[in-house]
Amino acid sequence: MSNLQQQRLVVEQLRREAAIKRITVRQAVADIMKYVNDHQQDDCLMIGFSSQKANPFREKSSCSVL
């Protein structure tokens, strides 16, 4: 592909990218915050394991068959 053809493609791509619809940062951040808020209480990294049963790394106690 010639330099000129490449240049044309780059400009065409940039025309497409310039034309996209953009929302405000305020709206974008609000949506991210909402998602995080909705999921934060289930995030093990933040709240730890909800119970010992939920902790996959716990020491497994031995079972005895009665």
DSSP for 1-66 reads --HHHHHHHHHHHHHHHHTS----HHHHHHHHHHHHHHHGGG-HHHH--SSGGG-TTSPPPPP---
Among 4, 63, 65, 66, binds other proteins (CB under 8 A): 4
How many residues sit in the footprint of other proteins (CB under 8 A)? 40
Min. distance of Cβ 40 from other proteins in angstroms?
5
Q: Which residues bind other proteins (CB under 8 A)?
A: 3-4, 7-8, 10-11, 13-18, 20, 22-33, 35-36, 39-40, 42-46, 48-49, 54-57
